Amino acid sequence: MFRSKIILSIIVLVVALAIIVGCAPTAQVGGESKTPIILGYVGNVSSPGTKPCMDIMQMAVEEINASGGVMGRPLKLLIEDSKGETSLSVAAVQRLVIGNNALAYYSEGRSEIALATKEKSADMYKDYPHIAITNGAADYEVTEGILEKYDRYKFFFRDFEFAQYPWYYGINLKMIRDTMKAKKLAILYEDLLWTRVYREGDARLGTPPMKKYAEENWGLQVVYEAPVKARAGMWLPTLESIAKAQADAIFVLSSWFTDVEVLTKQWADSSAKDSQLIMAGGIGQSHVFWGMTGGKSLGAVVMLWEDDVNEITPQMVPAVKKAMSRNIPIQFHVLAAYNDIYLMKKAIETAGGTGDVGKVINALETVNIEGVYGTFGYWGLKREPWFHSGVITNPDKVIEFNYPNSHCPYTQIQGSTSDKYILLQTQEGEMQKKWAHPELYKTPAQLRAEAGIK
| Structure confidence by residue, pLDDT tens digits, 227-268 | 999 888 999 999 999 999 999 999 999 988 899 999 999 999
Q: Confirm if 74 and 26 have CB atoms less than 8 A apart.
A: no
Residue 20 scores a pLDDT above 50: no
Q: Confirm if 262 and 229 have CB atoms less than 8 A apart.
A: no
What is the tens place of the pLDDT at every residue in 277-324? 999 988 999 999 999 999 999 999 999 999 888 888 889 999 999 999
Dihedral sign for Cα 447, 449, 451, 454, please: positive
What is the tens place of the pLDDT at every residue in 365-407? 999 999 998 889 998 888 878 899 887 767 777 777 554 455 7
Radius of gyration of the chain (CA): 25
Q: Give the side-chain half-sphere CA count within 13 A for 152.
A: 11
Confidence of residue 22 (pLDDT cuts 50, 70, 90): very low
Q: Confirm if 134 and 109 have CB atoms less than 8 A apart.
A: yes
Residue 3 scores a pLDDT above 70: no
Helices 260-268 and 236-244 pack at an angle, to 10 degrees, of 50
Asked whether the bond before 208 is cis by omega within 30 degrees of 0, the reply is no
CA distances 172 to 130, 374, 399, Å, are 39, 21, 12
Comparing CA positions, the residue from 356, 444, 403, 414 lying closest to residue 167 is 403
Overall average pLDDT of the 104-118 stretch: 91
What is the tens place of the pLDDT at every residue in 189-206? 999 888 888 999 888 778
- Backbone phi and psi for residue 290, each to the nearest 5 degrees, phi listed first: -55, -50
Give the list of residues 6+ apart from residue 271 with CB closer than 8 angstroms, or none: 239, 240, 243, 244
User: If DSSP codes are grouped into helix, strand and coil, which group holds residue 394?
Assistant: strand
